[in-house]
Amino acid sequence: MSVTGGCRCGAVRYELALHHLPPVYCCHCRDCQTWTGAAFSQQAVLRESDFALTAGRPALFELTNPSGSISRQYVCGNCHTRLYNTNSARHGLVVVRAGALDASDALLAVLHIWVKRKQPWLELPEGVPSFEESAPAEAFLNLVMGERR
């Protein structure tokens, strides 16, 4: 079994070399709200070697973060669905926009970050770690990657 996903129009498809859906983290920051047009973004962190495009060639949008790292955002060039990104500061990892996974109705959120920007009507479940801003790198990778680290 593998985990698959793709854009809204179907031009770009990908496959993850995993037996189960990866856990996701939710980011409630303003950039994510702007970028998704939604209350928060959902992301899964993958090893680059566990991610493979199976159809299409995504378009690239590159930007430099305030920290100086370069973020490469891959979208479908046809329907403009945001699909995944890489970051020069996190070599070897791919961050997948989990809402574009085919089984996005079965995702499990294991972490919430930037909850100080959270929509006020949204209540987070008890027992799921959450941080006012970003999570410390160690905690972040342990929660979202676990034994895949």
Q: Which residues bind Zn ion (CB under 5 A)?
A: 7, 9, 11, 27, 29, 32, 76, 78-79
Q: Which is nearer to Zn ion, 13 or 51 (CB)?
A: 13
Shortest distance, position 121 Cβ to Zn ion, whole Å? 19
Query: In 3D, which of 30, 85, 92, 91 has the Cα closest to residue 63?
Result: 85
Q: Strand, coil or helix: what is 136? A: coil
What is the distance of C-alpha 115 from the center of its chain?
16
CB 42 to Zn ion: min, Å: 11
Q: Report the C-alpha gap between 4 and 46 in whole angstroms.
A: 13
Kindly tell me which of 50 and 131 has the beta carbon lying closer to Zn ion.
Answer: 131
Tell me, letter by letter, the H, E, C secondary structure of 76-101: CCCCCCEEEEEECCCCCEEEEEHHHE
Token representation of residue 106: 């079965």
Least CB distance to Zn ion at residue 70 (A): 17
Which residue, 22 or 58, has its beta carbon nearer to Zn ion?
A: 58
Instruction: Provide the minimum distance between the beta carbon of 106 and Zn ion in the complex, in angstroms, as a whole number.
Output: 22
**Distance in Å, CB of 74 to Zn ion, minimum:** 11
Tokens 């070897």 — which residue? Answer: 92
Nearer to Zn ion, 32 or 44 (CB): 32
Structure-token pair, residue 141:
């990778």
DSSP, res 22: P
In the complex with Zn ion, which residue's Cβ is closer, 25 or 51? 25
